[in-house]
A and B are shown apart, each in its own frame.
Chain A
Amino acid sequence: MGTYILRRLLQMIPVILGATFLIFAMVFALPGDPLAGKCGERPCSAAYRAAFTEKYNLNDPLLVQYGKYVGKLATGDFGETYNQIKVSDQLKQRYPVTAKLALMAILFETLIGIVAGVLTGVRRGGFLDNLVLVSTLVVISIPVFVIGGLAQYFLGVKWGLFPVTVTSGEATVYQLLLPAMVLGSLSVAYVARLTRTNLVENLRSDYVRTAISKGLTKRRAIGLHALRNSLIPVVTFIGFDFGALLGGAIVTESIFNIPGIGGYIFRSIRSRDGASVVGAVTVLVIVYLVVNLIVDLLYGLLDPRISHD
């Protein structure tokens, strides 16, 4: 187990280097002059241009620039934007918002998805089963900006049940309620269906038949024996989904004016702010890899037949 984790951590290094280099190269290749508009209406002076180029290593070959960047990264220095704003400050401000939103969306999809999946799996073909089937189909087939827009208009603006947008920099839990539900809505549908399918399959299994013939109550045979097995793939899905949500949600963030990492990357790309893009993406890659590792380990804990030696 210990060696497994170590091996996985070591495997991450080339992945991180590769991913950041790709991003770095792409940002480097973005057309446009970083100095455009920097000095008001006039073009910048030659001296300023030289100093600027020197400061940001703009004359070095790509690989050298990248090497210098990684060297600083290793010491925790994410560099500065061309406006002398520290990228790490930006990340520190925005990442907690994204993490909070992702966590809330995950809680929402886990709770509602599993409950809906269990209720429909136990009573197949009933009214609730059909209701959930239809509504998950609807949710899966409608794009998130439509769901988000409708939810914002009806639940926020018209009926005033939720705050319409996020107004503060740190985004309170209350303000994030509606966005989290919108963000989690697609996964709720997947979690509900995955739970239902697996539960139905496990209810037919031999070991549930054994559980009943042991004289266990139906509740225990289903709620413990069948469900414990049914949730293995569900938990795995939720884990990977969490990894994806931690990458930010550009559409949901922009609908609800959330100062998260998704919008940050989007704006940074548009303003050709290379340092911010590379810094943010580096963080996302690392988070994604770590979450994946945790999910794999969790999978081994949930299913004793999987071994990590």
Chain B
Amino acid sequence: MTVQDTTRTDTGAIRYEPQDGVLLEVEDLYVEFHTADGVATAINGVSFELRQGESLAILGESGSGKSVTAQAIMGILDMPPAVIPQGHIRYCGHDLLTMDEEQRRKTRGPEVSMIFQDALSSLNPVFPVGWQIAEMFRIHRGMNKSDALDQAIRLMERVQIPAARERVKAYPHQFSGGMRQRIMIAMAIALDPAVLIADEPTTALDVTVQAQIMSLLEELQEERQMGLILITHDLGVVADVADRIAVMYAGRLVEKAEVHELYRSPAHPYTRGLLESIPRLDQKGQTLAAIGGLPPNLMRIPPGCPFNPRCRMAQDVCRRDLPALREVAPGRLSACHFAEEVIDA
């Protein structure tokens, strides 16, 4: 058991304090989907931590388990079919997985918050955007309608929505994609959460708008010293914002590193493949070296290293032994038998 410096306020609500700067601690997490076809292990022993004021990017191809990780942290997985057979998700030392549901509900919004890829479908089409932001204040703070709406306007101004006061009663479909994502962000940061999870927040947007949303997130993260988890399948998007990167493959973390080190010298063949598939300005016209093959079926993950069928460096040992995630250089973790060679290459 960790020591918990929990203090109770007069209302009986728990006050959460980071433990030595650690906000969130995911430890040996497993998530399975039990379906008619069988059991798919979507998250396979994932561990990482998020510190106050830190930006952690989670990178991986589509289907690698990034969203499921985020949903497990938020507690918004559909259970069933999802099952969490083991693991811990600690927020300020409190295990969210064993917390009672009412207590956990109260952490969503004021403590941990999330924005999604598709802001249009993520906002309720029949309520005005201001109302949807104000709902945070009304539910969690018991604020009256007009005060809550004032707060909503302030937030809409903060995320740079032009003419916020006039547009507070407008509906989601009346905004552009970028503006809608700003509204999602306003809603997510409304109660000043310590942790913000952004699941591919710019994937559905135009390139120019993508950059604007990313810099808004970066700005807010610095201003409020939030812990930010930035999920993406596109390394190019997060390079400027993230401090550290965790790379996922088939439900496992395969590499973890400080962002510039990872860029300079990836320690896992999969990461190297992802880096090589980023379009680069100085190599215009060259074809991208995408990683060949497909991620494994999660119901039949190959023995040994899950990446071995697609890996150009694969040896016999790769088809036999599962490589552990280990420290291969100071502050660098990789789950590859030949990580040292990859890093030096």
Contacts and interface: CB of A to CB of B under 8 A. Distances in A.
B and A form one assembly = yes
Interface of A: 205-207, 209-217, 220, 225, 228-229, 232, 302-305
Interface string B112-135: 011010100111111100000001
A215 B113 CA distance: 9
Given A213-B74, A215-B110, A207 B105 contact: no
Contact of A304 (B110, B121, B125): B125
Contacts of A210: 116, 122-124, 184
A305 B125 contact: yes
Contacts of B136: 214-215
Interface in B70-90: 74-76
B121 A207 contact: yes
Contacts of B124: 207, 210-211, 225, 228-229
Contacts of A228: 124, 126-127
Contact of B108 (A207, A214, A303, A304): A214
A212 B171 CA distance: 20
Contacts, number: 67
Residue of A215, A217, A225, A229 with highest tally of chain B CB at under 10 A: A215
A215 B121 contact: no
B152 interface: no
Interface string B5-18: 00000000000000
Nearest to B190: A214
Contacts of A213: 74, 76, 108-109, 113-114
Given A213-B113, A215-B108, A215-B110, A207 B122 contact: yes
Interface string B23-62: 0000000000000000000000000000000000000000
Given A214-B109, A216-B139, A305-B125, 16 more contacts: A205-B121, A206-B122, A207-B123, A210-B122, A210-B124, A213-B109, A213-B114, A214-B108, A214-B139, A215-B106, A215-B140, A217-B105, A228-B127, A232-B126, A304-B126, A304-B173
Contacts of A304: 125-126, 171, 173
Interface string B270-306: 0000000000000000000000000000000000000
B187 interface: yes
B171 to A, nearest CB: 4
Given A209-B76, A228-B126, A302-B126, A214 B171 contact: no
